[in-house]
Amino acid sequence: MTVRRARSSPSGAALLVAIAAIAVLTSLAVDLAYQTQVRLRTAANARDELRASAQAHSAVTFSRLVLSFQAQIDQAMAVGQSLAAAAGGAQGGAATPAAALPRPQLWSLVQVDSALAHALFGEPEGEAPAPAMVRASSAATAPAAEEGAPAPAAAPAAGPPRDADGGFEARIEDEGQKINAQLDALGTSGLLGPQVEELLRLFCDARWDPLFDRTDADGQRTSRTDLLVNLKDWVDEDATGSVLTASFPGGNCAFVVPPNPFENGFSDENYPYDRGPDRYKTKNARMDSLAELYLVAGIGDAFMAAFQDQLTVYLPNAAALNVNSDDPRQQLLIASAMADQSAAAQASLLDPRFREAFHKALLAVRMGGLLAITPAQFQQLLSGLGVKIRSDQNLSSPKSPFTDRSVVFRIRARGASGDVTHETEAVVSFDPRLAVATDQAAPAATTSSTPFGRLIHWREE
């Protein structure tokens, strides 16, 4: 019997080779396409990040321009009031009409964003006008926070207006309307005592007792007066612990503070910082940023969550508290400091009806926060609502703890391009005592001379 062998055909092998080749080429093509998309997306993100950063820097620069105009307005009105006062004195002490002139807060009037820049300087060629933004930069126009809760930070609802190259927005905050936690005022200035009193009024509400009635991770308990001493020791120049003077009242929350409430003690001021695993010493110099408060014994996350938006460390050591605050809590704190310290006068400030009437009256006088009032006008408004005023305050004195002008402002800028958002925070000082030619803490694009303020703090995210 003859066996026939099947003749092999090359077509099957060729098909397998073709399929394998197609699979390899397909995988290579898919990988190439993926890598191309990744590189394209990476390049686009880098481009958008650069644009967003430049937009945020532009917002800071634009804000500083607005603040420089505000400084010129303040200076011109101060000169006019001085001339009017001199003329009135020459005529036998006649009233000065310039003292009653309303002073606009330009930085509160102007919404700094790219839409305003396009309106002032024109649209880029070939681009549609940038969309307008809903104004949300003033706490005076925002709903009041619930009692005891931190005030919500004002922020635009729709984000920065955007065009083909992105957009920017900036919110300007007056640091002078906040309480200065930098206890380095000279004892002879007359401002250290009122500054301590303002801090006590901020801390001493009964709802904050849990912050001071607990023991921290290092086994230490810090009272309200202990915290005041720790703040003083952190910034003073000596290495000896401070103590409250004998004339300081007993208890943590008695608001009768002497002009100079501290004196040198005999203890080591580094004792509160020698007990934890990470030991360090007090700085014995001014704080550079608000985040540095975390290093002071007795201050932690809970404390900062409660008071961070009401504190500042950027003011000069002779700065008074600006009465033109938009925060109802701050307005009530200033009212408490101006009112008589009797129980009846202080109790009247706690009446919810008084709080509502006082806040509405301030909004009306200041036209929603667009105009500034003097401490005397603030006091007159308080007295007009039936509150007895304390007799030991002279608001016309150079050592008055209250003012109507600020020299330090915080700029919260945000730039956007594509899906990328870049945030920048800058603090600018217009203190005339800071005579410097240029800034050193910022990129060259935001460096400027004194007319645009000195940049004393810069942070980017």
Q: Which of 160-164, 243-247, 444-448 has the lowest mean pLDDT?
A: 444-448
pLDDT in tens, 287-338: 999 999 999 999 999 999 999 999 999 998 888 899 998 888 888 889 988 8
pLDDT in tens, 48-103: 999 999 999 999 999 999 999 988 888 888 777 777 666 665 555 544 444 456 78
> In this predicted model, which residue has the larger pLDDT, 344 or 444?
344
Binning pLDDT at 50, 70 and 90, where does residue 144 land? very low
pLDDT at 120 exceeding the cut of 60? yes
Binning pLDDT at 50, 70 and 90, where does residue 258 land? confident
pLDDT at 223 exceeding the cut of 80? yes
**Model pLDDT, residue 96:** 43
pLDDT in tens, 7-64: 556 667 788 888 888 988 998 999 899 999 999 989 989 999 999 999 999 999 999 9
**Model pLDDT, residue 138:** 40
Question: Cα separation of 296 and 325, whole Å?
Answer: 27
Per-residue three-class SS string for the chain: CCCCCCCCCCHHHHHHHHHHHHHHHHHHHHHHHHHHHHHHHHHHHHHHHHHHHHHHHHHHHHHHHHHHHHHHHHHHHHHHHHHHHHHHHHCCCCCCHHHHCCEECHHHHCCCEHHHHHHHHCCCCCCCCCCCCCCCCCCCCCCCCCCCCCCCCCCCCCCCCCECCEEEEEEEEEHHHCEECCCCCCHHHCCHHHHHHHHHHHHCCHHHHHHHCCCCCCCCCCCHHHHHHHHHHHHCCCCEEEEECCCCCCCCCCCCCCCCCEEEEEEECCHHHCCCCCCCCCCCCCCCCHHHHHHCCCCCHHHHHHHHHHEECCCCCCCCEECCCCCHHHHHHHHHHHECCCHHHHHHHCCHHHHHHHHHHHHHHCCCCCEECCHHHHHHHHHHCCCCECCCCCCCCCCCCEECCCCEEEEEEEEEECCEEEEEEEEEECCCCCCCCCCCCCCHHHCCCHHHCEEEEEEEC
User: In CATH terms, is domain 182-312 a member of 1.10.40?
Assistant: yes
pLDDT at 162 exceeding the cut of 70? no
**Model pLDDT, residue 277:** 79
Share of the chain above pLDDT 70, in %: 79
> In this predicted model, which residue has the larger pLDDT, 403 or 391?
403
Whole-prediction pTM value?
0.80
* 61-78 residues labelled b (16+ CB within 10 A) or e (exposed): bbbbebbbebbeebeebe
- The whole-chain average pLDDT of the chain stands at 80
